[in-house]
Structure 1
Amino acid sequence: MMRRKHKNSKRGCLECKRRHIRCDEIRPQCINCTTAERDCSYPRTTSSNSTNTGNSPVEGSVGARYSVSASPPITSYATAPTSGLMIGGDMPSFALSGPASHLPDINMVHMELLYHYLTNDLTSYPEMAEHFKQVSMSHALREPYLMYQILALAARHLCYCRPESAVFYQMQAIQLQTCALSLFNSLDIGYFNQSISKLATVFLFSSQLSIQTLCDMLSYRDYDFPSALARFMEYLRLNKGADRLLDSHQAEIMGLDIGPIFELGVQWYNVSGEGYECDDIRRRIMSVPDLDTETRDATLKAIDLLQWVIDGEPRAVSRAHVLLSWTTMIGPSFVELLETGRPEALTVLAYYYLALHYCREVWVFGSSGQYFLLSLSNYLGPEWTSWIETPCRLLRQSVEREDADSLDSNLFRADPGTFHRN
């Protein structure tokens, strides 16, 4: 497939230009630099003799697009309503116009989205879905940024439920999430110091923002694995940023209305799989000579959580939530391995993609596990085939047990060790 032509941004920040990624052009700091905690600065020429075309965000504009990584934005899959996927290329944006203080009027579409949120479990909290929604609504009625994110998540889910109308609902999801982020980013540090209940609202906001962001990330099909990894790392940093904000207040949060949800998360962190599927990767990680104890333990913990998901507990959605929370539960030393592209850490991602495949019935994941495991296999090459033989073999067996024609079985060849693109 030929790559779509697109116009390069000429107004992006210097850091995004250096990293060759697309900048959302929000000032004074773009979302990419804010999320990755990098210094953000703009060329002096961008602040003069420039006009707003209607598609380029300007300072203070609600229309500035948000994305966990800058290429492509979360609008990417909107032109493929029947599949929810977008293969490469940058897509035009759907943006709100007007100053940041101008938010869209409430309309019947918003009422539909609110009803959809209240009558469906979009966040994979089966044990306390009703409690989560009740608490979220209680906070959202006091904090508009959370309400906009709730509506945005509902719109994103409707893209999945109603593929014939995916373009429309994706536009709603983008617009509403843009409003949510605009309001959230306008908060000053004093907001978080007002009361501990403000941090509870932040937790509810980040949880639902994270689900929508993950869904958007998995829906995009990069041309190469390094691009997909960069997108994944931006998503991971987003989760870790919110996690750091809440870490020092866990004891206080436990006493709030979100306490039971937090407590359930602690229980999930302590799960450990009993199956055999990850035995091989555990042995290999233990034999890597230059991993210090902390890094090795963090890597093994990440593997244990994936084994629990792969075990196939009867609570299918609960195991999916462990997978949704995996990026917040893995340790910083393992994150550093991923950041540097260590092949040993990337082979652990192969098991993450297998776990995604085993949870493919959950709307957020879909067929992403199969695609990204293929992409990783092609990237690592023959040298690392033995490291990822188990997840590749198990995924192929899973596909063969189903209707192979409906799952693109042409991706697979006879080689038992891996699978390749034709």
Structure 2
Amino acid sequence: MLRRSHKKSRGGCAECKRRHVKCDETRPICRLCSNSGRDCSFASEIQSNKPPTPGASPHEQSTSPFDFAIFDAITPSSTCLSASGSPSFQDPTYQNDGLDEPLNLNHMELLIHLNLDDEIFNLGLGDVINPLGLHAGLRIALTHPYLMHQLLAISACHLSFIHPEKKSFYHHQAVSLQTRAVSIFNTASTTVDASNCAAILLFSTILGHHILADTLSIRVEGNLDVFVQQCIACLSAQRGVFAITQSAWPLLMETELEPILNLSRNFTSREPRGAHCDGLRGLVDACERLEVEEKEALGVAIHYLQLGFDAEVDGSVEPQYRFQMIYLWTMLVPQGYVDLLAARRPEALALLAYYAALLHFGRDRWQVRDAGVYVLGMIVRFLGDEWAEWVEYPKTLVDGELHG
């Protein structure tokens, strides 16, 4: 039988040569590797051959207003724990499901689901983000592969929650696509400018929603340390999203995302109205073991928590803001609070108990479910009677569902 002749690609990437397929030699990642989620040798070549900035120290060689390496630590092991019963991304026993093909119906299913199910981003601005934000995101993703991969990843993440009978399959898709998205982003991104600022912000935000959903899905009963470790990783990544937004704000105001960003800023810049966190604030102010800087960090975190409670119970707050602080709080807490939580300081854990109450208000959200009861229960048991006063109010909010 005669074989069809084809022109060889002598300058192709190593992965295409291994597969005996023609590489289009697109850099920094060839099209076949990008579509199939493979590691393209072109990307590693660029990374290894990138010259340092003349006269700059290793800590000064960042080419953008913020550090793109903030996403280097986002790997399957740090965002998707196998404790849920799903196979890990590197599980050698997992069967080939066709995800390595350049184009397949699995990806089409994720794209269609992304368009049809408006619950995926229900911790955002509700109906405001759909269709405006999603349509803008899909259009921008056509020229920014890392954004497209992350959009498909969170679609798979959502499907893994609503179809428990296929949880392992969709979880595998979500982890694979998220890992590839981060890899493409870290190799392709250089400076933030008018051409990519919207894509970078959308990617970072959607990745943040994905990480939060993974964090809130952790269930290692009675092991608060596991949750806190994952929570710290989540908060650190979300602060990266905040840094991106701050650094690129003037450019972002010139994009089609401007209406959404202004709505979000309108909410977060408000003064708190309610008194739900007054007891916690009073205990923090009176605590002699806290340094001034530590009280300030806790005060900022409490400020945004109260905005979340206001949105839940204050009828004058627009309904689209009702659950937004569940996500935004993880992005707006200062580094000082993250440090206190990392040290397992009881004051920081008590504040996290109030966030757990906020989660309980959003228990009908697919990302949250029973996370509020689960987290609050662990904190109450960990702190014990000595700190009972600090967590009494959130306990009353979840009364009846909290297991002792």
Judge conservation of contact 1:281–1:348 (CA < 8 Å) in 2: yes
RMSD, aligned α-carbons: 2.9
1:196 to 194, 197, 219: 194
The correspondence of residues 297-336 of structure 1 with structure 2, limited to 5 A, is 297-311=296-310, 312-313=312-313, 318-336=321-339
SS in 2 for 1:396: coil
Aligned residue identity for 1:329? L
Structure 2: 5+ residue stretches without partners: 1-43, 49-68
The correspondence of residues 6-21 of structure 1 with structure 2, limited to 5 A, is none
In structure 2, the partner of 1:395 is 398
**65 and 326 in structure 1: CA distance in 2 versus 1, 3 angstrom threshold:** closer
The offset of 1:138, in angstroms, is 1.4
- The 10-residue stretch of structure 1 (312-321 or 282-291) with the greater mean CA deviation from structure 2: 312-321
The correspondence of residues 256-405 of structure 1 with structure 2, limited to 5 A, is 256-289=255-288, 291=290, 293=292, 295-311=294-310, 312-313=312-313, 318-397=321-400, 399=401
Aligned residue identity for 1:120? D
Aligned residue identity for 2:195? S
* Cα shift readout 1:329-359 (whole Å, capped 9, x = no counterpart): 1223323322322211211100000100111
The offset of 1:280, in angstroms, is 1.0
* Cα shift readout 1:182-217 (whole Å, capped 9, x = no counterpart): 21122253xx25x33312211101111111111111
In structure 1, the partner of 2:211 is 213
In structure 1, the partner of 2:38 is none
Q: Distance between the aligned counterparts of 2:323 and 2:89, measured in 1? A: 31
The offset of 1:75, in angstroms, is 4.5
Judge conservation of contact 2:215–2:230 (CA < 8 Å) in 1: yes
SS in 2 for 1:255: coil
In structure 1, the partner of 2:134 is 133
Aligned residue identity for 1:254? M
Q: Distance between the aligned counterparts of 2:143 and 2:117, measured in 1? A: 22
In structure 1, the partner of 2:155 is 154
Q: Does 1:178 align with 2:179?
A: yes
In structure 1, the partner of 2:253 is 254
Q: Distance between the aligned counterparts of 1:229 and 1:295, measured in 2? A: 19
**107 and 78 in structure 1: CA distance in 2 versus 1, 3 angstrom threshold:** farther
Q: Distance between the aligned counterparts of 1:252 and 1:65, measured in 2? A: 29
Q: Distance between the aligned counterparts of 1:77 and 1:117, measured in 2? A: 24
In structure 1, the partner of 2:146 is 145
Normalised TM-score (structure 1)? 0.70
Q: Distance between the aligned counterparts of 1:294 and 1:353, measured in 2? A: 24
Q: Distance between the aligned counterparts of 1:36 and 1:338, measured in 2? A: 21
Q: Larger RCO: Structure 1 or Structure 2 (Cα < 8 Å, ≥ 6 residues apart)?
A: 2
Aligned residue identity for 2:105? M
Alignment: residue pair count: 325
* Cα shift readout 1:339-380 (whole Å, capped 9, x = no counterpart): 322211211100000100111111111100100111111111
Judge conservation of contact 1:295–1:334 (CA < 8 Å) in 2: yes
Structure with higher Rg: it is 2
Judge conservation of contact 1:360–1:366 (CA < 8 Å) in 2: yes
1:107 to 90, 104, 109: 104
**279 and 134 in structure 1: CA distance in 2 versus 1, 3 angstrom threshold:** same
**270 and 155 in structure 1: CA distance in 2 versus 1, 3 angstrom threshold:** same
Judge conservation of contact 1:271–1:305 (CA < 8 Å) in 2: no
* Cα shift readout 1:119-177 (whole Å, capped 9, x = no counterpart): 22322321232111011011100011111110111111112222222222112111211
Aligned residue identity for 2:76? Y
**340 and 328 in structure 1: CA distance in 2 versus 1, 3 angstrom threshold:** same
1:93 to 57, 69, 89: 89
Q: Distance between the aligned counterparts of 1:184 and 1:92, measured in 2? A: 22
Judge conservation of contact 1:353–1:373 (CA < 8 Å) in 2: yes
Q: Distance between the aligned counterparts of 1:113 and 1:201, measured in 2? A: 19
Judge conservation of contact 2:153–2:175 (CA < 8 Å) in 1: yes
SS in 1 for 2:358: helix
Q: Distance between the aligned counterparts of 1:254 and 1:78, measured in 2? A: 43
Q: Distance between the aligned counterparts of 2:229 and 2:76, measured in 1? A: 16
Q: Distance between the aligned counterparts of 2:101 and 2:368, measured in 1? A: 30
Normalised TM-score (structure 2)? 0.73
SS in 2 for 1:325: helix
Judge conservation of contact 1:316–1:359 (CA < 8 Å) in 2: no
Q: Distance between the aligned counterparts of 1:172 and 1:216, measured in 2? A: 14
**94 and 125 in structure 1: CA distance in 2 versus 1, 3 angstrom threshold:** farther
In structure 1, the partner of 2:66 is none
Q: Distance between the aligned counterparts of 2:254 and 2:155, measured in 1? A: 28
* Cα shift readout 1:92-123 (whole Å, capped 9, x = no counterpart): 435699xxxx9642211211111111122322
Judge conservation of contact 2:284–2:295 (CA < 8 Å) in 1: yes
Q: Distance between the aligned counterparts of 1:128 and 1:92, measured in 2? A: 32
The offset of 1:246, in angstroms, is 3.5
In structure 2, the partner of 1:226 is 225
The offset of 1:388, in angstroms, is 0.4
Aligned residue identity for 2:301? A
Q: Does 1:77 align with 2:47?
A: no
In structure 1, the partner of 2:241 is 242
Judge conservation of contact 2:201–2:244 (CA < 8 Å) in 1: no
* Cα shift readout 1:233-284 (whole Å, capped 9, x = no counterpart): 0111111123223322212211212222222221221234433322211111
**94 and 210 in structure 1: CA distance in 2 versus 1, 3 angstrom threshold:** same
